[in-house]
Chains A and B, each alone.
Chain A
Amino acid sequence: MTADVSGQAGVSMWRDPKIRAVFFQVLVIAIFLAFVFYVGNNTIENLEKRGIASGFGFLSQPAGFGIGIVVLMDYNAQTSTHTDVLFIGILNTLIVAITGIFLATILGFVFGVLRLSHNWVVNKIAATYIEIVRNIPLLVQLLFWYFAVLSVLPRVKESLYLSENFLINNRGINFPSVIPEAGFWMIWVGLLLGIVATVVVSKWAHKRQDETGQQFPTLLVSIALIIGLPVLGALIAGIPFEFDYPKLGRFNIQGGWVLEPEFLALLLGLSIYTGAFIAEIVRSGINSVSHGQTEAAHSLGIKPSFTMRLVILPQALRVIIPPLTSQYLNLTKNSSLATAIGYPEIVAIFAGTSLNQTGQAIEIIGITMLFYLTISLLISVFMNWYNKRIALVER
């Protein structure tokens, strides 16, 4: 064992696996570096040759164009800069990605479970949804939602009134907005307290059930806490808000809040499309749990509804989570297709309009790629953490 393996007589250096491995790794790195150097050098040279100015100075220049959907930020075409455009783009991408992931997950889990139902009709409905939606390109579906569904809704002047202040038309869904007044913070405090109390209650209920076997209606109590405490806060502060109701203006509905058709089409398209894939993932996850688990649960007298929730799904999640992560990533990246239906996310306004107005293609595309890379890595990190947490702990 003490002999120097690599120095053994009769083995040439070329045949030594260790040396060979090092040699090839160095070679690969050298080729890679040469490639990067060549590309970078060539880029700079060609940009100079074509007289294209480069640099990031454009980020502090005023943007000068309008953006249709701006939330949480103030945007003024004359004074806001391309940096603001970048942030609005990021924000709009994140909004649609987060709501989309949320909806797609619900859709996916519901239809994944329905797909396994023994009820023939339910089973076939789920199968039809999954097969149709999975096999039509997403861009086509987005155009379908935007041009074939949402834009043929009634026109503004003939809006559907679900109630006096809740309107649907082909410019979106209008509903009253809440205008905070002094003391509005009480409601936030109430909400925060409600969430904290819910966590405490559910921990306590768990512990009590472990010790005594007695159950506690955690869900009902949590809902009561999360809704009740903010309402209580509002009452104490004397209803610290006013509603702004949507009203028909000369062209449009004025006032209130609106969910634009561009956003709705993108959200529907993305979540329904991704939901179908998640449904298949959920189905495969559930199928991967041995049927013996179900039989064992039933023979212990556990109700069928509890069997799925407490026995099958937790085991299925181990199989579900990794491919689910990649569906979340897909959804986020697919949001860039919004450029076809006019939703102002990062690719449409920053890598679209800003790029075109400034001509800084390499810088802007670089920043955009960096953003998607960052978001994708963050989602991966989170899902990996979650995956570890729910992994089967062998006892």
Chain B
Amino acid sequence: MKKASLLAVATAATFMAGAASAATLDDVKAKGFIQCGVTTGLAGFASPNDQGVWEGFDVDFCRAMSAAVFGNPDKVKYTPTTAKERFTALQSGEIDVLARNTTWTMSRDVNLGFEFIGVNYYDGQGFMVKKSLGVSSAKELSGARVCLQSGTTTELNLADYFAANDMKYDSVLFDTADEVREAYIKDTCDVYTTDQSGLYAQRSVISDPENHVVLPEVISKEPLGPLVRHGDNAWGDIARWTLNAMINAEEMGITSGNVDSMMSSKNPAVGRLLGASGDLGAQLNLDAKWAYNIVKSVGNYGEVFEKHLGAATPLKITRGLNALWSTGGILYAAPAR
């Protein structure tokens, strides 16, 4: 399956007629579901629950898109992808949108032929070590053996950070986050490095989370966001405004609980977003109540965050940078009008 995916872009580029990629919205409507690329399993972001139903922060973005397009959040099929496979899967048209805590970088945006539609999680790369090592700063890690996932910006940041601080390290690379965690638990390596959100997620599923500590250093900017293929701007717009609608809904105080009463809000911006007035839905070629459907069936950004990552979950991640700009974070969505 791995080889197949690695080669997918080659095969797809060689055999598929280019027309298939022209209008993703039409394709999606015709087949009746959105094919969404997610992780192979990262607690809180995307992982199947006891019933085998995918859940998580990134999964809810896919569900929000489905709600916007179909008025029903469950018309999504998930493709678990490893860090290495994800881009080929999107390039080849195997998936319609990739929501897989992927860092927005220039070369990915430009050279790989993708369009990042925004940032749904501001993250940074960190380190997790066992408390028993007595390490309190990443600057003390010279000579350590570091486990990480291959095919990520993590590899590049790690090399940069250790070079900049004149430290040495050994790296061991695995394909999936689960393998990295397994190797880290078995003490094959001293350090687990990935985005801090990922570290918290992995720590929450280790049997003894209290014995592991995430070091304070954040060594990179990792704006994580969903992405689509270059060249289909209409589909990109739907993805972008799905995210913006969720953030704007939080800013306007619209939640899944009060969205029905908010329909008759006196605030004209709320009416425009929810489709009570104006034609924003029609501009996207969607139903007028597209944003209403998102908030009603999935929730606003804050609700989704608290549900999967927040204080009530095993991950216990605070909003931090991911709070709204009006409450001290940097989450800032363009206005819907």
Contacts and interface: CB of A to CB of B under 8 A. Distances in A.
Query: Which of A43, A348, A351, A357: most chain B CB closer than 10 A?
Result: A357
A353 B155 contact: yes
A151 B186 contact: yes
Interface stretch (B15-23, B48-56, B277-285): B15-23
Interface in A329-382: 339-342, 344, 348-349, 351-353, 355-359, 361-362, 365
A340 B143 contact: no
B225 to A, nearest CB: 17
Interface residues of B, number: 58
Interface string A140-173: 0000000100011001100000000000001100
Contacts of A170: 186-188
Chain A binding surface SS class = helix
A78 B165 CA distance: 13
B228 to A, nearest CB: 12
A355 B84 contact: yes
Contacts of B325: none
A6 interface: no
A65 B149 CA distance: 12
A142 B140 CA distance: 33
A303 interface: no
Given A39-B15, A340-B179, A361-B88, A171 B145 contact: yes
B159 A64 contact: yes
B216 interface: no
A137 interface: no
Contact of B111 (A46, A252, A359): A359
Contacts of B179: 340, 342
Contact of A251 (B21, B144, B172): B144
A66 interface: yes
B14 to A, nearest CB: 5
A68 interface: yes
Interface string A240-280: 00000000011110100000011000000000000000000
A50 interface: yes
A45 B15 CA distance: 11
A339 B176 CA distance: 10
Contacts of B9: 361-362
A78 B133 CA distance: 29
A77 interface: yes
A49 interface: yes
A227 B172 CA distance: 37
A103 B91 CA distance: 42
Contact of A50 (B151, B170, B172, B230): B230
A147 B186 contact: yes
A356 B170 CA distance: 20
Interface in B89-127: 91, 107-108, 111-113
Given A261-B188, A342-B174, A64 B14 contact: no
B175 interface: yes
B150 A348 contact: yes
A42 interface: yes
Contacts of B171: 65-68
A68 B6 contact: no
Contacts of B156: 64-65, 357
A199 interface: no
Contacts of A250: 140, 142-144
Interface of B: 2, 6-7, 9-10, 12-18, 21, 83-84, 87-88, 91, 107-108, 111-113, 133, 140-145, 147, 150-152, 155-156, 158-160, 162-163, 169-175, 179, 182-183, 186-188, 190, 229-231
18 contacts: A50-B91, A51-B230, A65-B155, A65-B159, A66-B171, A68-B171, A77-B160, A151-B188, A156-B187, A250-B142, A251-B133, A251-B145, A340-B174, A342-B172, A342-B173, A361-B10, A362-B9, A362-B10
Instruction: Report the 8 A-B pairs with minimum CB-CB distance, sorted nearest first.
Output: A77-B159, A356-B151, A65-B155, A151-B186, A359-B112, A51-B113, A251-B144, A66-B171
